[in-house]
Amino acid sequence: MEKLNKQKIPTNDNLLIVVESINHINAIVKAILSMDSSLENIDSPSNGESLTIESAIANLNGTDLGLRFYAAWWLGRFRVNEPQAVSSLIKALADEDDRTPEGGYPLRRNAARALGKLSDITAVAPLITCLQSSDFYVREAAAESLGMLGDSTAISPLTQLLEHGLENGVLVATQPDTKEPYDAILEALGALKAVDTIPLIQPFLQHPIERNQYSAARAMYQLTGEVEYGDRLIKALAGNDLQLRRSALADLGAIGYIAAADAIAQTLAENSLKLISLKGLLEKQVSPLTPTLSSDAIKVMNLMDLLL
């Protein structure tokens, strides 16, 4: 038995306790992929003090950096869609007090992530400004949130950022290009139904970083509805790398690709992530208005039951 202990893989599982939505898995997958330590606070709300809306807003506007950081996350997590929360978070996008040794802006990152969840379009313009931030993770969070807010004015600035990876319409021929958060940008363009950007997205299907290929496939599926792109993500579920399987789960859930149902249930990954992915499929199958359940919807639920 002693020997077996060495099999234990270092655990990221504490990050998975409160995974509750596709966007949340995206954040976690990215945290795992990028080992962005500022995201560790995502793990469990029980680690933090319990806040009220008033105290969260007060903390965000206070001076304690830890409390500000946590409050920004909390307001997003509990979707506190109140004008005062939104305006305080927008103000936090320009914070200068909270800095990492490398020059990053932890509070700006969390504020940008939170604003994506509050569906208030007054955040769109300030988030577009964040796409110019010197901090990669601020750009990433802003791109992701702009995709969630669904305002088409974000398409052009996102496209400009994507073009940093292209030269005359082909991928820049350097080593794996990590200049920009291409995955978040591609996903946002897909969510924003930016069909004009298809020719710019397509090259990223060959990007040397697999995660970016998946994001391109996800966006291409959303923009064209062609099954080859969904099928590419199904293939990714059979890959060797757990983190890439996790991210394919998130992508398939986001596009609600029904043909992936069995592959999702069978892939080697945490049931929590499979359930969230299948939830994305299910919600595409049931509209609040349809009074009957389709056979596909029932099939997805039967798969979900077995994963509980």
Q: Which stretch binds other proteins (CB under 8 A): 13-21, 61-69, 86-94, 110-118?
A: 13-21
**Closest by alpha carbon to 89, among 61, 50, 63?**
61
Given a contact cutoff of 8 angstroms between Cβ atoms, the answer to whether 262 and 244 are in contact is no
- Other C-beta atoms closer than 10 Å to the C-beta of 143 total 30
Q: How far apart are CA 212 and CA 178, in angstroms?
A: 10
The 8-class DSSP code of residue 9 comes to P
Site string for other proteins, 33-72 (x = CB under 8 A): -----------x-x--------------------------
Q: How far apart are CA 192 and CA 186, in angstroms?
A: 10
Q: Which amino acid belongs to residue 288?
A: P
Q: How far apart are CA 131 and CA 120, in angstroms?
A: 18
Nearer to other proteins, 79 or 91 (CB): 79
Residue 46 CB, nearest distance to other proteins (Å)? 6
The answer to whether residue 297 forms part of the interface with other proteins (CB under 8 A) is yes
Q: Which stretch binds other proteins (CB under 8 A): 185-193, 207-215, 229-237, 266-274?
A: 266-274
Nearer to other proteins, 33 or 269 (CB): 269
Residue 223 CB, nearest distance to other proteins (Å)? 24
- Torsional sign, CA 248, 253, 258, 262: positive
Residue 293 CB, nearest distance to other proteins (Å)? 6
The answer to whether residue 7 forms part of the interface with other proteins (CB under 8 A) is yes
Q: Which stretch binds other proteins (CB under 8 A): 4-12, 58-66, 87-95, 139-147?
A: 4-12
Q: Which stretch binds other proteins (CB under 8 A): 82-90, 137-145, 174-182, 269-277?
A: 269-277
Q: Which stretch binds other proteins (CB under 8 A): 54-62, 165-173, 227-235, 262-270?
A: 262-270
Given a contact cutoff of 8 angstroms between Cβ atoms, the answer to whether 181 and 136 are in contact is yes
Please count the helices (runs of H) and the strands (runs of E) in the chain. 17, 2
The answer to whether residue 9 forms part of the interface with other proteins (CB under 8 A) is yes
Site string for other proteins, 277-296 (x = CB under 8 A): --x--xx--x-x----x---
Alpha carbon of residue 305 to chain centroid: 25
Q: How far apart are CA 247 and CA 169, in angstroms?
A: 26
Q: Which amino acid belongs to residue 181?
A: P
Q: Among 13, 49, 64, 262, indicate the residue that binds other proteins (CB under 8 A).
A: 13
Q: How far apart are CA 308 and CA 288, in angstroms?
A: 24
Q: Among 4, 83, 173, 176, indicate the residue that binds other proteins (CB under 8 A).
A: 4
- Torsional sign, CA 49, 55, 56, 61: negative
List residues binding other proteins (CB under 8 A).
Answer: 1, 3-4, 7-9, 11, 13, 16-18, 20, 44, 46, 268-272, 275-276, 279, 282-283, 286, 288, 293, 297-298, 301, 304-305, 308
